A and B are shown apart, each in its own frame.
Chain A
Amino acid sequence: MTTSERKREDAEIRKDFPLLSPKTAYLDNSATTQKPRQVLEAVSHYYESENANPLRGLYQLSLKATDSYEQAREAVRAFIHAKSTEEIIFTRNATESLNLVGYSWTADNLKPEDEILITILEHHSNMLPWQQAAKRTGATLKYLECDKTGNITEEDFRRAITPKTKLVCMTHVSNVIGRTNDLKTFARIAHEYGAVFVADGAQSVPHMPVDVQDLDVDFLAFSGHKMLSPMGIGVLYGKKEILDAMQPFLYGGEMIEYVTREGATYAELPHKFEAGTVNAGGAVGLHAAIQYINSIGFDKIQEREDHLTAYAMEKIKEIPEVHILGSDDPKEHHGILTFTVDGVHPHDIAAMMDEDHVDVRAGHHCAQPLLKFLGTMSTARASFSFYNTEEEADRLVDSMKTLRKRMGY
């Protein structure tokens, strides 16, 4: 693709994002993405013309709200290739999705002699729920370590899993190193051992086609806000037979069939896990985001993100004081460049980059055990979305080059 073709494509895409401007290079897309106009308009449209409490009213408006909400569920189902909409539960975010499994599945399925296997790569959201479940049930939590580039091999996994392993929880793409785990292989091995496999898709679902039936994971959690949707809407995919056997997570309205003074019978899937008034506006936004992503296509999304990653990494290689965590291969980063600058604290990096209107994240990225394992406390992270440009990558690199000098070296 020529530079002018690329520039035309940049402009074509960026015109859809009201918040993006030439002034600021927004490079914190792993934390949350900006929202295209199409999503914002869909949410407005819902509240302007379809809003009522879904699943409750018998009048036209409530039926319309229910329809929109359930159409969003179907869009999510198709997007991740689930068998049925009963397997799609709306939550607030990936964290809530993982906690749902962390409470409801573990309650009846873990015993003191059992083991939970997770990896050192996990975000705190895919770590703390299992630490807590281990405390409650007496099961043992075990950590599978990666190599310094973030890689976990099939041999590593086979060495760590045991006949006592009942649950394996693993991120699809690391939010620090950007590397993909081969979930299909790991889920197959977990199933050989009779373990249930939970995948954290927070950093993969926005960037690549994910097919839950092909991967054959038992659960998949992700957040809408990292894939162009409003905040406050997330998804838990779970296999129907497993969800059916689980106890509810939250109790209240909407998740029951029949209530007496003594107890209740619970609603069918997926409503059994959606207690209380749902975030219909958020679901409508997620539906529009999925349509938007499909209209651009993952081929183009991946081409653009890989191109920017490679483009930036090539230039960063020339700056001796800057070090990128993880693999040297841009394809193993999925737009995520976590870095350190010799002698400059990451919070100072982010603050100086802010002065240059380059937005990057600094800190432990909710993965303190991983950073400790890699021998650092804190890092800075730039993360690209398909709507970023070469010019923004240049601004990142230009700013990087000035940091040491500005700190008085």
Chain B
Amino acid sequence: MHNTFYSEILTEHNLHPTHKHELPDANYELEGVNPSCGDDIILKLRVDDGVVKDGAFVGDGCAISQASADMMLDLVIGRPIEEAKRLSEIFLRMIKGKITEEEKEELEEAGALEDISHMPARVKCAVLGWHTMDEIFEDPDKAKKG
């Protein structure tokens, strides 16, 4: 009926996120805020031996910010930090409209957000989770818990 960006993949991740919960044994956590939408999440990661063993987020925001964070965690849990960083770099490039089909495949469901590249007002929502994760990797001391 509607020619919509709000695909089932996106709304499903928003309404029924797999990774939106507390994570008591997280050893890293960082808040990410997007002042334009008021999106506000706290990303929590459990990292052991350079591998993202588990991850979760809490907070609120628009469907795009919430779904994107959930898709991201689907993708990076179980992967080494270096892999997660590489995928994040691809995601951020996708949002700027500059990736190949193969790269998009690698992003799995997060590839569904490709059209954000035509919605400049929503870019910040889509990248919130990813930026927050990058920040944790760049400055782990800041995000270290306890």
- Report which A residues bind B (CB closer than 8 A): 344-348, 351-352, 355-356, 363-364, 377-378, 402, 406-409
- Can you identify 17 A-B contacts, CB atoms within 8 angstroms? A345-B61, A345-B62, A346-B62, A347-B121, A347-B122, A347-B125, A348-B64, A351-B5, A351-B119, A352-B2, A355-B5, A364-B38, A378-B37, A402-B2, A406-B6, A408-B8, A408-B15
Which residues from chain B contact A364 at a C-beta distance below 8 Å?
A: 38
Q: Judging by beta carbons under 8 Å apart, are B6 and A347 in contact? A: no
User: Does B14 have its Cβ within 8 Å of any Cβ on chain A?
Assistant: yes
Which residues from chain B contact A356 at a C-beta distance below 8 Å?
A: 2
Q: Judging by beta carbons under 8 Å apart, are B14 and A407 in contact? A: yes
* Complex A-B, nearest 8 residue pairs according to Cβ-Cβ distance, in ascending order: A408-B11, A345-B62, A347-B62, A377-B38, A378-B38, A348-B63, A347-B37, A408-B15
User: Does B106 have its Cβ within 8 Å of any Cβ on chain A?
Assistant: no
A-B contact sample (17 more), CB < 8 A, given A345-B62, A347-B121, A355-B3: A345-B61, A345-B63, A347-B37, A347-B62, A347-B122, A348-B6, A348-B62, A348-B63, A355-B2, A356-B2, A363-B37, A407-B11, A407-B14, A407-B63, A408-B8, A408-B11, A408-B15
Nearest chain-B residue to A350 (Cβ)? B121
Interface residues of B in 1-59 (CB under 8 A from A): 2-6, 8, 11-12, 14-15, 36-38
Q: How far is the CA of A407 from the CA of B3 in the complex (A)?
A: 13
Task: Report B60 CB to chain A, min CB distance, Å.
Answer: 8
Which residues from chain B contact A363 at a C-beta distance below 8 Å?
A: 36-38
Task: Report A404 CB to chain B, min CB distance, Å.
Answer: 10
Which residues from chain B contact A347 at a C-beta distance below 8 Å?
A: 37, 62, 64, 121-122, 125
- Report which B residues bind A (CB closer than 8 A): 2-6, 8, 11-12, 14-15, 36-38, 60-64, 119, 121-122, 125
Q: Judging by beta carbons under 8 Å apart, are A408 and B37 in contact? A: no
Q: How far is the CA of A377 from the CA of B37 in the complex (A)?
A: 9
Which residues from chain A contact B3 at a C-beta distance below 8 Å?
A: 355
Per DSSP, are chain A's interface residues mostly helix, strand or loop, or mixed?
mixed
Task: Report A25 CB to chain B, min CB distance, Å.
Answer: 15
Q: How far is the CA of A378 from the CA of B122 in the complex (A)?
A: 15
- B4, B38, B61: the one within 8 Å of A355 (CB): B4
Which residues from chain B contact A378 at a C-beta distance below 8 Å?
A: 37-38
Q: How far is the CA of A300 from the CA of B29 in the complex (A)?
A: 58
Task: Report B137 CB to chain A, min CB distance, Å.
Answer: 27
Q: Judging by beta carbons under 8 Å apart, are B4 and A406 in contact? A: yes
Task: Report B40 CB to chain A, min CB distance, Å.
Answer: 8
Which residues from chain A contact B11 at a C-beta distance below 8 Å?
A: 406-408
Which residues from chain A contact B38 at a C-beta distance below 8 Å?
A: 363-364, 377-378
- B8, B12, B60, B122: the one within 8 Å of A351 (CB): B122
Q: How far is the CA of A346 from the CA of B60 in the complex (A)?
A: 12
